[in-house]
Amino acid sequence: MRNLKQGAMEIDGVRIIEGDGLSKGSARSLNVKPPYYVVGVSTAFQGCIADLTLSGKSMPTPVVENDVRRCYTADYESGSFFFNNGGYVQLDDTFSVGVDITISLEVRPRSLTGVLLSVHADNGGDFLLLQMVNGELILTADNGGGEFSTRYTPQVTNKLCDSQWHKIEDFDRDGMLADSNLIGCMRNLMIDDKPRYISGGVANGDVNLDACPVN
């Protein structure tokens, strides 16, 4: 807070004044105008900010946001969380399906239908698609030798949506049926026994790369 030349901070209700708390020179006001920037500059702040006010007035909704994610008020754990507004993470521009492929990942979905992983060629030829459709897990791929697919149908429709982590692995050899993105958490993605770090990808849409709510 500032009053003319006097400056002070208040932390958790306790007012703190370091030094004499006075600005130098004869200036008694700050002549600034919008736009105002919150964090950023050369080194960005990592954490949560809430209830931002200026001269006693709440700041309006941001006009532009750059690489800003939601803040959690509940417990969270490692992983990447995909919100219900839709979003995805781009990991690799050079990946190809190849002759044989193995996939391993852990998911904790909050919806019965959604795309988990997809790769496709620029010309629309080779592709790989892992998706959930009404609780059923389907892997479909084409590496140039024709389309092949495998699927897992649980005895209970919502078996994969039980608030628990589920490890999907050992896929090795009809098109996209899911028309929405995954809602929920994902972690520990490996392709051909090599880790693919989701948190190191480029997020598009409503995605938190490095934290999953526990509940």
In sequence order, the 6+-apart residues with CB closer than 8 A to the CB of 56 are none
Residue 131 predicted with pLDDT over 80: yes
Average pLDDT over residues 2-19: 68
**Residue 23: burial class (beta carbons within 10 Å; 0-12, 13-18, 19+):** middle
Q: Which residue has the tokens 């098109």?
A: 175
pLDDT of residue 107: 92
Lowest mean pLDDT across 27-31, 78-82, 135-139, 176-180:
176-180
* Pair 130, 116: CB distance under 8 Å: yes
Residue 178 pLDDT:
54
Omega into 154 within 30° of 0, i.e. cis? no
Note whether 106 and 186 are within 8 A (CB): yes
What's the CA gap between 41 and 44, in Å, rounded? 6
Residue carrying the six token digits 């969380």: 81
For the chain, give the percent of residues with pLDDT over 70.
72
